[in-house]
């Protein structure tokens, strides 16, 4: 029987497997950031241990740094401590760090791919739940806890259960004005936030093959939001073209060898998945969330569900609670919801393509009066490229604040917080209660939809602004 992409990468990394114990996997790549690494380094120090392979690690600062200035002076005491601790740890232990102001600094899930640190067929871990993003390259990538971070630092291995496999076949092509973000929100709406639990998801089908690498990352980024630790896409010419020539990508003969190897990773035609799901990608409309988890979605052209539409009493009660928090009437048109804040950024949608698409909507238009709009590039490289292309000017002219890279209002650990009670059109991945600031209310959507919402001051379909 053939193997799936996930099984091929998993099996190639098993170091030891004993009855009654979790298999031990070799780790090829380890990304770290300021929030989940300090205790791990401290544990290592206490035990008098060194890093097993510091050259396989890469660090960045992203979660609680300021996006106004690239200095620690304007950061919270907590951020100061975390960032300076990471700087010291990386210096002491010999880890490359893209620190504040560094040309490669950015959100951890953006800088890995951008530098070619993320490669097909590798195992990649990070103390961060959105590590599945890197699966877009055909890497087996997943988030780990802080004690596991320490284990990887000391041994370059991790204990990891074999997951069940799920293939999501995305048939047809996404229509213009409909993006990878809409696809993953539609999937979340269909399978719920628990649909992928215990599975490694493979996104496949014509719609996925047609996506750029940046869009594929958006898709895999949110695998965790449907309950799966892992989301993968088979590497192909799009993948190779993206990686070629990047800082840490193999060069010369090693590149040709690597590509030949990567071409063998795709799931075999006779591979069997534990579960298969079909999605009609061509039928998807722009999506947004109406509730407090990413599975509570509807079409932007549609309405918030009525309570009668829920058969399951638990779901119905959840919807009722979510709507009370979000402040929307059951059955109301979602496009009537007025917004106060717009956030374009995060590891879901903070890449160049995202800003390009939003700029298509914003060119020659203005943010509606009373709306605060933030554009936060996912990395310094994204920011520079957007400046060079004139995109940054489009955002500024429209009335957006054009910031420095970081997680920012995705989780509001720095001072980018949506005010209490405000409604936010956001390109991030989580719409949990209070996620973007205490009492804030989040609607997840694509960058083009967020830009359209900024212009109209209410949740808006981007297609009306796209020629």
Ligand X SMILES: CC(C)[C@H](C(=O)O)[C@@H](O)C(=O)O
Q: How far is the CB of 129 from ligand X (least distance, A)?
A: 3
| Burial per residue of 139-156, b for 16 or more beta-carbon CB atoms within 10 angstroms, e otherwise | bbbbbbebebbbbbbbbb
Query: At 72, phi and psi to the nearest 5?
Result: -80, -20
298 marked ligand binding residue: no
Closest of 65, 69, 91 to residue 78, by C-alpha:
65
Q: Judged by CB, which is closer to ligand X: 63, or 441? A: 63
Q: Judged by CB, which is closer to ligand X: 208, or 219? A: 219
Cβ proximity of 89 and 45 under 8 Å: no
Please identify, among the stretches 86-94, 117-125, 312-320, 403-411, the one whose residues bind ligand SF4 according to the rule CB under 6 A.
403-411
Angle at 273 between CA 270 and CA 278, to 5 degrees: 100
Residue 184 binds to ligand SF4 (criterion: CB under 6 A): no
Which of residues 411, 450, 452, 454 is near ligand SF4 by CB under 6 A?
Answer: 411
Which of residues 40, 86, 359, 407 is near ligand SF4 by CB under 6 A?
Answer: 407
Q: Between the CA of residue 353 and those of 180, 195, 241, what are the distances in Å?
A: 11, 29, 16
Residue 347 binds to ligand SF4 (criterion: CB under 6 A): yes
Q: Judged by CB, which is closer to ligand X: 368, or 382? A: 382
d(C-alpha 333, C-alpha 329), whole Å = 9
Residue 118 binds to ligand SF4 (criterion: CB under 6 A): no
Query: What secondary structure does DSSP assign to 324-344, as a single string?
Result: HHHT--TT-BGGG-B-SEEEE
Q: Select the binding partner of residue 279 from ligand X, ligand SF4, none (C-beta < 5 to 8 A, by kind).
A: none
Q: How far is the CB of 430 from ligand SF4 (least distance, A)?
A: 7
d(C-alpha 188, C-alpha 283), whole Å = 15
410 marked ligand binding residue: yes
Which of residues 128, 225, 353, 461 is near ligand SF4 by CB under 6 A?
Answer: 128
Q: Judged by CB, which is closer to ligand X: 139, or 178? A: 139
220 marked ligand binding residue: no
d(C-alpha 160, C-alpha 27), whole Å = 11
Please identify, among the stretches 11-19, 151-159, 248-256, 407-415, the one whose residues bind ligand SF4 according to the rule CB under 6 A.
407-415
| Burial per residue of 181-212, b for 16 or more beta-carbon CB atoms within 10 angstroms, e otherwise | bbbbbbbbbebbbebbeebbbbbbbebbbebe
Where along the sequence are the contacts to ligand X (CB under 6 A)?
35-36, 63, 128-130, 143, 411
Each residue 417-456 as x (binds ligand SF4 by CB under 6 A) or -, in order, gives: -----------xx---------------------------
**Given the rule CB under 6 A, which residues bind ligand SF4?**
62-63, 107, 109, 128, 130, 346-347, 407, 410-411, 428-429
Binding site residues for [4Fe-4S] cluster, as ranges? 347, 407, 410
């Amino acid at each position: 029987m053939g193997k799936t992409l996930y099984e091929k990468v998993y099996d190639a990394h098993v170091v030891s497997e004993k009855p009654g114990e979790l298999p031990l996997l070799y780790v090829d790549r380890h990304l770290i950031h300021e929030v989940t690494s300090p205790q791990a380094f401290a544990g290592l120090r206490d035990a008098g241990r060194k890093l097993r392979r510091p050259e396989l690690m890469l660090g960045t600062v992203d979660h609680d740094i300021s996006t106004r200035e690239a200095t620690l002076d304007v950061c919270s005491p907590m951020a100061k401590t975390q960032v300076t601790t990471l700087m010291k740890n990386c210096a002491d232990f010999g880890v490359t760090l893209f620190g504040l102001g560094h040309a490669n600094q950015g959100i951890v899930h953006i800088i890995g791919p951008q530098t070619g640190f993320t490669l097909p067929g590798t195992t990649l871990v990070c103390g961060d739940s959105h590590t599945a993003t890197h699966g877009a390259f055909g890497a087996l990538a997943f988030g780990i806890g802080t004690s596991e971070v320490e284990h990887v630092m000391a041994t370059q291995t991790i204990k990891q259960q074999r997951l069940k496999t799920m293939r999501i076949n995305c048939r047809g092509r996404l229509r213009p004005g409909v993006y990878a973000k809409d696809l993953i929100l539609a999937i979340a709406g269909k399978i719920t936030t628990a649909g992928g639990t215990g599975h490694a998801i493979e996104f496949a089908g014509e719609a996925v093959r047609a996506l750029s690498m940046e869009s594929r990352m958006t898709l895999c980024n949110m695998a965790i939001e449907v309950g799966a630790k892992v989301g993968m896409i088979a590497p192909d010419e799009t993948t190779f073209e993206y990686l070629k020539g990047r800082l840490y990508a193999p060069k010369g003969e090693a590149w040709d060898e690597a590509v030949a190897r990567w071409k063998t990773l795709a799931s075999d035609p006779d591979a069997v998945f534990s579960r298969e799901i079909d999605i009609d990608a061509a039928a998807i409309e722009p999506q947004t969330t109406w509730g407090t988890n990413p599975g509570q979605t509807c079409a932007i052209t549609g309405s918030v569900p009525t309570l009668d539409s829920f058969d399951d009493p638990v779901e119905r009660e959840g919807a009722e609670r979510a709507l009370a928090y979000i402040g929307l009437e059951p059955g109301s048109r979602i496009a009537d919801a007025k917004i106060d804040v717009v956030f374009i950024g995060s590891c879901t949608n903070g890449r160049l393509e995202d800003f390009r698409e939003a700029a298509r909507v914003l060119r020659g238009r203005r943010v509606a009066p009373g709306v605060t709009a933030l554009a936060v590039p996912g990395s310094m490289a994204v920011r520079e490229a957007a400046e060079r292309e004139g995109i940054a000017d489009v955002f500024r002219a429209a009335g957006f604040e054009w910031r420095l890279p970081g997680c920012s209002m995705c989780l509001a650990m720095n001072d980018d917080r949506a005010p209490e009670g405000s409604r936010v059109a956001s390109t991030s991945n989580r719409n949990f209660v209070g996620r973007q600031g205490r009492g804030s209310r989040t609607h997840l959507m694509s960058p083009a939809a967020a830009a359209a919402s900024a212009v109209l001051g209410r949740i808006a379909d981007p297609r009306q602004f796209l020629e």
